[in-house]
Structure 1
């Protein structure tokens, strides 16, 4: 039996067009620790750390791939697009193709690293191979190294599938080696078998066949040009009748080039602000983002009105950590497919204390509203013919309402404890957010150690001044901290 992509995985797979790349990943910064010489009678139970170099990194990843089997599989499309694509083992899997070395001109600073990451994330993945890459980046200042991971969104299912960066890290300084696995790729199904199987499935479930016409691939998808026009018109009508996001350049994404930047502030300082105002650290994070967006909008449009808002989509676990625990007993730093809600950031408010109070109040209100809860992007008509009409209507609406928010924000429900890579502590950790179509900016926030690590990904054609947002983070934090 073939392992077919889920409707949502297939949607993300086919979203990759000339101006859209549905990649995400992580950036890990490590300062390799040098081992001191030991005597012959040293405790043999504490072997020296292996060097954090390319060879050892490849060995580590090879050992951990058994935890993420999709990272050794390729996507194979079905003839004529009669069904969703399938996962098959890559019989020519070459780990050295996926793990690469890269260097910065010494001493590489944050701007050099951000530029390299932007170029890497702008490039589409090779669809003839498993859809991921990893980079060992050398040449950073102070002898630091960086690990950048890049994974296609369809590799990560909504039921807790880990990203490769989460798999290679350990919770303690001892690098855990899994039992050796002898991996043998399975025989791929022939084209005829896939075609016949897809045809039989389409006849037994005609809803899927309709979905491939509307949202599918292959030759049949030529029909979706006309269908798409009708869908867009219907979507425009729905948006006029619903509470859609404010019109903003943040919804003008359309180029294939990216920009990336990072910023970091003290979590302890944010906790003091939260305690002072009786809110949560997540509220302070959103207030910092509000200050960042306020400064950016004022630089973009000095005549911005006091009533201006920016609408964001945030994981529901940011309000109720119990939601995260029910879904994933060991939350990581890459969050996909989790329940989210849409809230407004009062970027028109100049007073930082008032802005924080409004952020907390709106978040508390909208997190309880069924109209504001979202499961994220969904395929249009994925199960037409086999679901009740109300379910069909709600799914269609969520797909049509493409302007429900301006900016996605990925954030965790709790701090991430120290992580180690080949025994070396990860000093900085950033999630590299996915930038989907019709979005010019995506933000991630990771609580790691005593810092809040912000990652910004933008469409270079819309937000060419992204590095300024790193400065805005510090300014927004400072004005909140000064009120305590």
Structure 2
């Protein structure tokens, strides 16, 4: 038996929420145009993740007090956490998407550390890495930071030379070599300082507002309405019980500068513009499938701690889920943008994230059956989870190869059917969806519709 660390309240909550159709697993993806040297990649991952964070070497166990603990495994094997595959011909987007979709319902073995990585060769002649980590390990923002920690700012990244020095000076992985290795990771993380925050850009306001809960703000009335009366989420063709057949899709990236120009022209934020395109793409999808729907509600994660480039050794979860209602009944994209901007503003100007975090904490202390029912009730008010991750603005490198793109999908719960991700990196905006293949047929129309929606909004912006 190794050292034990008790799971936080939020961490234990996500641990208990796996269900066959929706697992509490965060799937993160990046890819390169050239093949990755996997030995070099494994060395970097060992140094910056495996050796630094005990949770990567730990399993979950029940204590005598009934609580969950991370228990470090002295004999844990890093190589056992990897699976190496070669994509079938022609090795394009469709083949990688099928691979990821097949993994979405594969549970992580509780007898092993709750993460795995699939090392993919043959993707457009290059490589890709699919990292799957249970939500109990960390929230989405920290998962992004963990992914960034294996990247460098240059092709050399000083990794090879520094690794040789560490092996010569500190042969033991438990010695000072760890702290030297984390400085490299910290430099990579600082590349994204102030960028990786949260989907609605409210991290700093949340921290500021947490000390003034007695002061009611305009958004608080909306928060009360959501908690008491619920949100508007019309029944559609995708309403139903989720199954084990999943689908993945993403669209070609948009230039971030063009998104900024549209935002500037409409006195809006980049996030307002991107979320408006989500609403417009859903409206077009529903229209194509002859479904009338006035509003679609999403769960949106909001980080409750300021960005810290030096991740603590104990990771965990510190976020709340707020509900964002997107209009799908407005034909003019500029009007949709105005509605989105107003609703996002109410979230930012209220205490919804803090209140929802407290509700989540209260739910986690219920009996398992009761909190499972409560979570399902609240979660089914939303069609799924919408995340917008503003990632590093410049190109990064992994094991000497340039990272061409990044993507990730948040886990879903209850009968939520879609995980929608907007991910900006290196001046480009990537859009992807993970969906229930039966309840959301022709799912690729939604991500394709995102680019169409942006073009319509650009044309209307003059």
TM-score range, shorter chain: 0.7 to 0.9
Quote the offset at 1:398 in angstroms: 8.1
Residue 292 of structure 2 is aligned to residue 304 of structure 1: yes
Quote the offset at 1:449 in angstroms: 1.2
Partner of 1:122: helix, strand, or coil? coil
Change (3 A) 1:154 1:315: closer
Partner of 1:73: 58
- Structure 2, unaligned runs of 5 or more: 175-224, 367-372
TM-score, scaled relative to structure 1:
0.72
Residue 236 of structure 2 is aligned to residue 255 of structure 1: no
CA distance in 2, matches of 1:414, 1:62: 23
Partner of 1:62: 46
Quote the offset at 1:165 in angstroms: 2.2
Matches within 5 A, 1:8-407: 8-32=10-34, 52-64=36-48, 65-78=50-63, 82-141=65-124, 143-156=125-138, 160=142, 164-175=146-157, 176=159, 177=162, 179=166, 182=172, 241-249=228-236, 252-263=240-251, 264-300=253-289, 302-304=290-292, 308-316=294-302, 326-329=306-309, 337-339=318-320, 341-371=322-352, 374-375=356-357, 378=360, 380-382=362-364, 401-407=378-384
Partner of 2:435: helix, strand, or coil? strand
Quote the offset at 1:413 in angstroms: 5.0
CA distance in 2, matches of 1:371, 1:63: 39
1:131-162 Cα deviation digits (max 9, x unpaired)? 11112211122x22111111111111699466
Change (3 A) 1:2 1:149: closer
Quote the offset at 1:313 in angstroms: 3.2
Q: Confirm or deny: 8 A CA contact 1:313 1:340 kept in the other structure.
A: yes
Partner of 2:370: none
Partner of 2:395: helix, strand, or coil? coil
CA distance in 2, matches of 1:240, 1:358: 21
CA distance in 1, matches of 2:439, 2:459: 32
Residue 461 of structure 2 is aligned to residue 481 of structure 1: no
1:48-69 Cα deviation digits (max 9, x unpaired)? xxx7223222222222222322
Partner of 1:221: none
Partner of 1:75: helix, strand, or coil? strand
Change (3 A) 1:117 1:469: same
CA distance in 2, matches of 1:273, 1:162: 27
Partner of 1:214: none
CA distance in 1, matches of 2:226, 2:327: 21
Q: Confirm or deny: 8 A CA contact 2:239 2:439 kept in the other structure.
A: no
Residue 427 of structure 2 is aligned to residue 450 of structure 1: yes
CA distance in 2, matches of 1:245, 1:147: 38
Partner of 1:393: none
CA distance in 1, matches of 2:353, 2:320: 11
1:54-91 Cα deviation digits (max 9, x unpaired)? 32222222222223221111112346xx4122111223
Change (3 A) 1:121 1:416: farther
Partner of 1:378: helix, strand, or coil? helix
TM-align CA RMSD: 3.4
CA distance in 1, matches of 2:334, 2:226: 33
CA distance in 1, matches of 2:111, 2:95: 30
1:186-238 Cα deviation digits (max 9, x unpaired)? xxxxxxxxxxxxxxxxxxxxxxxxxxxxxxxxxxxxxxxxxxxxxxxxxxxx9
Partner of 1:145: helix, strand, or coil? strand
CA distance in 2, matches of 1:262, 1:420: 22
Quote the offset at 1:112 in angstroms: 1.1
Q: Confirm or deny: 8 A CA contact 1:30 1:426 kept in the other structure.
A: yes
How many residue pairs match? The answer is 391
Partner of 2:419: helix, strand, or coil? strand
Q: Confirm or deny: 8 A CA contact 1:106 1:140 kept in the other structure.
A: no
Change (3 A) 1:92 1:310: same
Q: Confirm or deny: 8 A CA contact 2:250 2:431 kept in the other structure.
A: yes
The structure that has the greater radius of gyration is 1
Q: Confirm or deny: 8 A CA contact 2:139 2:319 kept in the other structure.
A: no
Change (3 A) 1:255 1:355: same
1:332-379 Cα deviation digits (max 9, x unpaired)? xx9964355432211110111221122112211232233576339835
Change (3 A) 1:462 1:57: same
Quote the offset at 1:271 in angstroms: 1.1
Partner of 1:200: none
Quote the offset at 1:118 in angstroms: 0.7
Quote the offset at 1:170 in angstroms: 1.9
